[in-house]
Amino acid sequence: MPDDRETVVDLSLGSTGSLGSTGTGTRLMLSQGPVLTEERLDFYRNGWTESFEKVQAVLDSRI
């Protein structure tokens, strides 16, 4: 893609304070940028969404 540039990804973890019967959970927050075009933003968003859906499927299979 012609708008392919280096970006910075920031991941942070925090407690949600609730997750079913266990009482605690973890919230993952992600930001990435700078993003120059809507096309690139969609590309990143779709990639991260797909990745986190795969992680969720693995976690769900362990319950």
- Residue range 3-47, pLDDT digits in tens: 788 999 999 998 887 655 565 788 899 999 999 999 999 999 999
Distance of CA 20 to the CA centre of its chain: 21
Reply yes or no on whether the pLDDT at 2 is more than 70. Answer: no
pLDDT at 8: 97
Q: Which of 51, 58, 14, 15 is nearest to 32 (CA)?
A: 51
pLDDT at residue 18, rounded to an integer: 63
Put residue 23 in one of left, alpha, beta given phi > 0 → left and psi -120 to 50 → alpha: left
The fraction of the chain above a pLDDT of 70, given in percent, is 87
Domain ranges of the chain: 8-61
pLDDT in tens, 44-62: 999 999 999 999 999 899 8
* Whole-angstrom distance, CA of residue 27 vs CA of residue 5: 28
pTM: 0.75
